[in-house]
Structure 1
Amino acid sequence: GGRGVLRLHRFQRPRATAVHRPPSNSGSVERPVKGSGFRLTPRKSPADRDFHSHQDGVVGLRGLIDVVRGVRWNRSTSECKPPGRPTGLRAMDARSRSVVITWDEYPPSSGVQTFVLNHKKTTDGWDEGKFVTTEVSSNELDYALSSLQPATSYTVRAFARNHLGLSLASEELVFLTEEEGPTGEVRDLKAEVLGPRSALITWSPPDPQTWNSIRLNYRLGIKSHHGDQYNSTEVQPKDEGKPQETLRGLRPFTKYFVTVRAFNGRGVGPLPLPLHFTTLEDVPGEPPQALTCKTLTSTGIEVQWDPPPTSSQNGILQGYKILYYHDEDRAKEMTSSRTTVILKDLLKFTNYSIQVLAFTSAGDGVSSPPVSCVTHQDLPGPVGGIKCLRSKKTAVMVSWIPPQFPNGPIRSYEVQIRRVPSGEEEFRKSASPHLTAFEVQGMKAGEYDVWVWAANAVGGGERSPPVRVVVDGTVPAGIYSFGGVERVWRGADHTLWCHSVGDPAPRTGWVRGDGEGVDHLVERDGSLRIRGVGRGDGGGYTCTVYNPLGRDSISYRLHVLVPPSPPQLRILDRTQSTIEAEWESTDDGGSPITHYVVEHKADGEWVERKTSQRQTSLRVEDLPCGTALLFRVRAGNRIGESEPSRPVSTRTLGDRPVWPRPDDPPLVANHTSVQVFLDRVRERECPLEYVSLEYMRENEDAWIIV
C-alpha cells in the first residue's frame, strides 16, 4: 500500500531476473523515465521498501506488474521489516554479582543479526545513562550479566536487531541477586551506662554500599575485663531510629568490652575495635563473712568479721555498719572502717543480737545472719519502787517492783526495817526471788524506815530509798500493788492487779480512763481480769479502794500490741527476667517490725520470700519474659503478721513477636523462588523460641508447613 519510485531501463539480455534488496529506507513512485529496462528506485520514507528490478529483453506493462507483485506478495513479510520482540525472557543461575539471562530461539528466516540487552536497577528509570546496553550475537540464546551488586533488584529487557532496525522491547524481567556477607564495619559505636546492672549500646549501620543484602542484623559480643570469650547475642534493628540494645544483668562496677558486627544470611562483617565501659557501683551483694562476737565485760562485747567476697562487693567498700539490739529494743548502729570493733556501754547481763553489713557509695548491702552474745553479770540495780502499808494493827505489808536492770538472775530480795529515830534494826529478812510483797508481823507501835534491795550471784545491789510507816493500831484502806504501763498481746488474757489492805475490809471499784465503768471480771482480791484482750481494751484504768479510815487508788495504762498494718508496696524496676519491689511500713502495731514476707505469683500458688526488718526492697529474678505477675507484702512483729498489702499488678518486659508492617513485607519473590526474611520478625524483647512458616498454593485451601 506504499508509494515508490519506478525507473524503467531497457537492457538487451537473454532473460529477465528480479532482485529484492531491502535498504534502510523506502521511497515513492515518480513519473516514468526514458531508458532501457526498469528499476524501482527509493525515496526516503519510513514506511516502504526499495525494490530494484532488472529485466533482460522486452516486457510489457503487465509483465512489470507481475514482477513487482512477485516481490511484494510472494516474499515473507518478515524480510521486509524489523524482527518481532524477544520472548521467554528469564533469569537463570542468579548469583550475588552475576546472572544468566536466556530467551526463546528465533527461526532462521527471521534475519536477526544481534540481540540487545538493557539492564538497570529496578529503582532507576529507563532514562539515558541509567541502564547498561549489551550486544549479543544472534547465535547466542543466553548471556551472563556481571559486575552486579549483591541483594539488588534488577530489571532487564531485550531487543532483536536485523538490518532494518530494532524490534519492540520484550516484556521486562525483574530478578534479585543473591546476598553476600557485609564488608563494612558498624559506625558510631557508643555505650550509655544506665545503672549498676545495665547499659544502652547504640551504633549506626555500615555504609549502605557495603551491606550486600536487603537487611542487616547485628551480632553484639560482650565480655568482662577478666573474661576470656565474648558472649554473643543477635540484635534485630527496629523499623525506626539507630540500632540499639539494652544490656541487662551485668555485674556492678565491672569493666566490659563490647563489639558489634553486622551479618546477614551469607556471612559476618568485619570486627571493629571493641568499646569498653564500666558499670556503676551497687550495694554489696553478700554480707560480711565469718562474723563472731566475744563478751569482754558486763558492758562490752568484741565483734570481728571478714569482708564480703570480692566478687560480690560491687564497688569500693566505704565501711561497715554494726547493728546490735536486744529483745524488742530497736537496733542501734555503729559505723567502722575496720573489721574489728568493741561495743561499749551495753546493758549488763543482756543478750545482744549482732549483725554487720558493708556499704559502698551506692548504699547498704546485705546484713549478715545475727550472732548473739550475753554481757557478764553485775550487781543488780535498785528495785523499781517500794511501798509499806499497815496491814494489821501490829503488821505492815512491804511490796516492791523488781529492778529494771537485775544484771543477772535474782537470788533473793533483802528487806530491812529500822526504828526511827534510834536507827535500831527492827527486822531483816531475805525474801524469795519470786515474791514482790512480804508481810512483817509483830510490829510495835512507832515510826519505822523500810529498805528493799535485790541480790544475785555477784552480790547485793543498790538499796532503795527508804519509805516511812507509822504503826498506830489503825488500818486505813490502801493498795500495795503498783500501777503503771502494761503491754499485752492482742488475744491474750491479762490481769490488772489491785491488792489492798484495810480494817474494816475496803471496797474496790474500777473505772476506765474516761470515767466509764468496766465490763470485765473483778476478782475476789480486787484485781481486774481481761480475757482475750482486744485493741479496744487499750487505754487507762483506775482502781480505787476505800473504808471509813481512808481511800487509795492506782492507775494503769494498757497498750494492746497487735500485728503491724499492711505495708505500702510499689514496683521499682523491671527487666525481661527480674522485677524489683520496694515497700514502706505504716504502723508497727506497738511492737518493732521483725521481718517482712514478699509474695508474688503468675499463675497458681503464691511464692514467698522472707526478709529482715531492715530490708525494704527485693529483686525477684529468673522470671519468665513478658509475663504478668501480682506482688504483695506482709510485715511481722512479735505478735504476728499483718494482712497482705493491696496486690500490685506488673509484668516483666517483652511481648509476643509480631511481623513487620504490611507496607514492609518480609519476603521478596521472583519467577522461581520466594525469599523470606525471618530476621524481620520483631521479637519485642523476648527471645524467639521458634518460627513456623506456612504456604498455600493458588486455588487450594490447605496450608503447607515448611
Structure 2
Amino acid sequence: RESDHRAWTPVTCTVTRQNATIQGLIQGKAYFFRIAAENIIGMGPFTETTKEILIRDPITVPDRPEDLEVKAVTKNSVTLTWNPPKYNGGSDITMYVLESRLIGKDKFHKVTKEKMLDRKFTVEGLKEGDTYEYRVSACNIVGQGKPSFCTKPITCKDEIAPPTLDLDFRDKLIVRVGEAFSLTGRYSGKPAPKVTWLKDDIVVKEDDRIKIKTTPTTLCLGVLKSVREDTGKYCVTVENSTGSRKGYCQVNVVDRPSPPVGPVIFDEVFKDHMVVSWKPPLDDGGSEITNYIIEKKDAHKDVWMPVTSATVKTTCKIPKLLEGREYQIRIYAENLYGISDPLISDEMKAKDRFRVPDAPEQPIIKDITKDSAVVVWNKPYDGGKPITNYIVEKKETMATRWVKVTKDPIFPGTKFKVPDLLEGCQYEFRVSAENEIGVGDPSPPSKPIFARDPIAKPSPPVNPEAVDKTKNSVDLSWQPPRHDGNSKIIGYLIEYQKVGDEEWKQANLTADSCPETNYKVTGLTEGLTYKFRVKAVNAAGESDPAHVPDPVEVKDRLEPPELILDANMAREQHVKAGDTLRLSAVIKGVPFPKVTWKKEDHEVSPKADIEVTGVGSKLEIRNTVHEDGGMYSLTVENPAGSKTVSVKVVVLDKPGPPRNLNISDVRSDSCYITWMEPEDDGGSVITNYVVERRDVASAQWVAISSSSKKRSHMAKYLMEGTQYLFRVAAENQYGRGPYVETLKPIKAIDPLHPPGPPKNLHHVDVDKTEVSLVWNRPDRDGGAEITGYLVEYQEDGADEWTKFQTVPMLDCVVTGL
C-alpha cells in the first residue's frame, strides 16, 4: 500500500519462492509491503515492513557528458561547449570538470578551478601555436563520472573566415503605412563580424519603433507601425578583418497620396463652363497617381456633383454651369492605395470675364536707317487672356492707308525691326495687341521719322605707320577706320610736325587728294625728326587723329638684301624632261638689290626667261631637256650687302646609252654579252636593261631580254654559223634610252685553238742532202680541220730553227741539207 493510503493492494497470487519483484510502482512514492504464507489449510498471518520504502532508482556516478565541441579558437584561448550526460546517475549534476592535455604530454590537467555548472567555458592564457586535447566529466553526490570523448587536437591560433551573409528578404519590399516589417538574415565569419544597418547611407538608430537584434549568427531589423519616412534603401553590412558583405533592400512604405497642391487656378471662366488647373500632390504615397476625382458644388447648395474621376492631367474643364451662379471645385488624388483628402477652391462666378487687349501706348522709333527702323512699345493690359500676337502697321505721313509690316506673328518681344522702307520717305507706325478673343484697338501713331542713315564722324584710322623713307620723304600707311559714321570716307588728311615744334602742318590740303590708305609726305629736311598723324574725313567731318607711334628721322634707308625662297627653290628641284622649270624668290632690300641668275657659275641658257619685279625674281625654262639640269644660283646685291642661294636642278629623263658593250665566249649556240651602266641615268634609278639581237641577213631586231637588272646576259639559242649583231638600252621610270650596238657582227661558231703536235715523227730514208720524214696526225685538231703541217729543221748545235715548207700530207722530203 502507499504510505498515505490505508488500503492494501494484492500484487501477486502465488509465489513459491522466498523473493518477489513488484512492478507498476510510481517513482518517488513511498510504500509499505506485507507477506503471508499459505498452504492447503489456509493463509497464515501477514508480516509487515517496519518502515516505508521510497521508490527510486539506485544512485551511481553520472554517464559521460555528450557533444563536446570547440566553438571558438584564438591564439591564446579556446571556447568549448557540451551537453549533459544522458543519465545523471540518479542524482543531480553538481558540477563539471574540464581537463586538457598538451599534445606530447601523457597526463590531463584540470582546467576549471571552481565548481562549474555552465556547459560553456573559455580556456584562456594559452600559448600561441600549442596544441591541446580537451575532455569533460560530470559529478553528482556519488562522485565524478567517466570523461567525455576527447576533442580533436586544437592548435591555438586566430581563426580567419571571410563574412558570409544569407538574407531572408528580396531586393524590394512594399509595406502599407502602419504595418510592421522586418529584415532578417544569417551571417558568419571569423573573427566575429560587426553588423551595421544603414538607410540611404545613414546609420539606423534604435527608437520606440525601430528595433535591431543581432546574435552571433542572426541579424534582424524590425520597424513597428511604419510611416512614409521609413521608405528608403536599407543596407546591412557584415564586416571583419578579412572583408565585408552587403545586402540591400529598397523598402517602399506606401499610403494614399497627400491632397493636390493648391490653390485651384481658374485658367478660363465663361458663363457656361470653366477650365481649372492645380499641381500634383507633394507626396504621391509611394505609388503613381492613377487619376484625379473632380467635383463641383453650387455655393448656395450642400450637394457636391461629380465632374469626372478619369482624368490623369492636372487640368480639367468644368461644364454645365449656370450663368451668374458661384461655384466651388473639389479635387481628390487617387493611387492604388486610396484617395487623398480634398483640395477645395475658392468660389468663382460663372460669367464671361475676358475681352480683347487694350491699345498699347504710343510706340517709340529707334535705330533708323535708310531702309529700316526699330519700333518699340510697352505691353498693354491683356484683357484677361494672354496676348498671342502683336500687329505692327506703317504708313507714309501723307497717306491714309495703314499697311501691316509683316505677315509673321510678332511675339513675345515688344519691339520689331521694320524692313523695306524707302530711303528719304517719312513714316508713322502703330501697334495692336491680339489674344484669343480678338484684336484690340491700335496705339496712337508714332512720331513721324525719315528713312535715312544717321551720319556721324568716323572713328580714327587704324595702325598708322611709316613704311619707308628717303632723305626728303616718308611713306605712310594705315588701315581704314573701324566705323565710317554711316557715311562714305571721302579721304584722309595727313599732318606732320617737327620734333620740338608745336605747330602741325598739313601734307595735303584736301581729303579727296588722298582717297587711299597710304601717302608719301615730301619736302622734308634731311636729318630732322618728324611726327605724323592721319585723320579720316566723311560728310559729317573729320575724325580724331591717329598718330604714328614713333618719330621718324628723315634719311635714306639702307637694308641688306633678303631672300625669301619659294617652295620651288628647295635644295634640290626635280623637273621632268619637257616640263617647265620655274625658280622664284621674294626679294627685299633698300635700295632694291641687283639680281643675277647663274648656272654652274656661268650665264644661264638663252632659252631661260628671267623676270625681275619690285618684290622678287623668277627664272623659267620651258621644254626642259637633260642638259638644263645643274646647279643654279640667285645672287642679290645692293650697297648694304649681298646674298646668294643655290638650288640643284635635276631634269628627269630617259637614261643615256650603256657603255663598253662587249661580246665574249662565243659558241656555236650562245655568247656572253657584258656592258657598263650609262654615264647619265636620267636623274632616276636604272630599273632594267633591254637586250636585242639581229641576224645580219635580217632587218628585224629580236628582244632576248627586257627585264634584266644585271649588266650582263648570256645570249642562247643561236644558229651555228650565223652572224649576229647585238644592242643594249637602259630603262628608268621615264622611259627607254638609246641603244648601244656592236660595231661588227660575230659568228656563232665554237672557238678555234691551235692543233696538237704531230705524233711519231721519224725518218724513213736519208741521203747526203735530203731526209725523208713521216709522222702521224695529232690527237686534237683545235676545233677545225687541219690544213697543213709546218716542217722546220735545225743544224745540230745551232739555236735557230729554219722553216722548210708547209705540206698537206703526213710525209715530207727535206732537201738542200
Alignment TM class, shorter chain as reference? under 0.3
- RCO higher in structure (CA 8 A, sep ≥6): 1
Bigger Rg, structure 1 or 2: 2
**TM-score when normalising by structure 2:** 0.23
Q: Structure 1 length normalisation: TM-score?
A: 0.26
